[in-house]
Amino acid sequence: MRTRNSLLNIISNCACYLILMISGLILKKLFVDSLGMQCVGIDARFTDYVSILSIIELNLGISLIYKLYDPIANRDIERLSIILSFLKKSYIIIAICIVILGIPFSFFAVHSIKEDYNKLWLLRMFLLYLADSICSYFYYHKRVMIIANQHSRVIGIIRSCCIAVLTVVQIFILKIFKSFELYIIAKIFSRIAENIFISIKFNKKYNVINTNRKLSFSKEKKNEILQSIKAMLFHKVGAAGLNQISSVIFGLVSLSLLENGIYSNYMLIVIALWGISSEFFRGILASFGNLLNTESKEKVEENFNVIFLINFFIYSFFCSSFLCLVDPFMKIWISESGACFGLYTTVLIVINLYIYGMRQSIGMAKESAGIFVQDRYFPVLETIFNFSVSYFLTKKIGISGVIIGSTVSSFITFFTYPFFVYKILFNKNPIKYYKKYFLYMIIAVIEAVICYFSTKMFLFGSIFQQIAINSIICLIIPNIMNIMIFYRTREFSRVSSSALSIYLKIRKG
- Kindly tell me the number of DSSP H helices and DSSP E strands found in the chain: 20, 0
Within-domain flag for 238: yes
| Residue in 204, 207, 211 with CA at minimum distance from that of residue 87 | 211
Asked, for residue 44, whether it belongs to a domain, the answer is yes
SS3 of residue 256 by DSSP: coil
Burial code (b: 16+ CB inside 10 Å, e: under 16) for 22-47 equals ebbbebbbbbbebbebbbbbbbbbbe
DSSP state letters, 119-185: HHHHHHHHHHHHHHHHHTTTTHHHHHHHHHTT-HHHHHHHHHHHHHHHHHHHHHIIIII--HHHHHH
User: Does some domain include residue 403?
Assistant: no
pTM exceeds 0.85 = no
Q: What's the CA angle centered on 291, arms 423 and 156, to 5 degrees? A: 110
Instruction: Give the domain range for residue 165.
Output: 1-248
In a domain, 214, yes or no: yes
- Which of 471, 446, 463, 476 minimizes the C-alpha distance to 325? 471
Q: Which string of b and e fits 348-366 if b means at least 16 CB within 10 Å?
A: bbbbbbbbbbbbbbbbbbb
Contact 331, 463 (CB under 8 A): yes
Instruction: Confirm whether 47 is domain-assigned.
Output: yes
Nearest alpha-carbon partner for 356 in 450, 252, 241: 241
Give CA–CA dist 400/489, Å, rounded. Answer: 38
Exposure on the CB side of residue 195, measured as CA atoms within 13 A: 16
Could you tell me if residue 494 is inside a domain?
A: no
Q: What is the domain count for the chain?
A: 1
Say if 209 falls within a structural domain: yes
Assess contact for 237 and 248: CB atoms under 8 A.
no
Contact 156, 12 (CB under 8 A): yes
Closest listed residue to residue 403, CA positions, set 277, 266, 269, 274: 266
Q: SS3 breakdown of the chain: % helix, strand, coil, rounded to 5? A: 85, 0, 15
| Residue 412 CB-half CA count within 13 A | 22
Query: For residues 148 and 288, what is the distance between their CA atoms, to the nearest angstrom?
Result: 11
| Torsion angles phi and psi, residue 487, rounded to 5 | -65, -20
- Domain membership of residue 72 (yes or no) is yes
Smallest CA-to-CA distance from 255 within 428, 129, 106, 390 is with: 390
Burial of residue 131 (number of CB atoms within 10 Å: 0-12, 13-18, 19+):
middle
418 vs 28: CA distance, rounded Å: 37
Reading phi first (left if > 0) and then psi (alpha if -120 to 50, else beta), residue 487 is in alpha
From first to last of its 509 residues, the chain has per-residue pLDDT tens of: 555 666 666 677 677 777 778 888 888 889 988 998 889 889 988 988 888 787 766 566 666 676 787 788 788 888 888 888 888 888 888 889 889 999 999 998 898 888 889 999 999 999 999 999 999 888 888 888 887 776 777 888 898 889 889 999 999 999 999 999 999 999 999 999 999 999 999 999 888 888 876 666 666 666 666 666 666 556 655 565 555 677 678 777 767 787 888 888 898 899 888 888 887 777 676 667 666 766 778 888 888 888 899 999 999 999 999 999 999 998 888 876 567 888 999 999 999 999 989 998 898 888 777 777 777 777 778 778 888 888 899 888 888 888 898 888 887 777 888 999 899 888 899 999 999 999 999 999 999 999 999 999 988 878 999 999 999 999 999 999 999 999 989 888 887 876 666 556 556 65
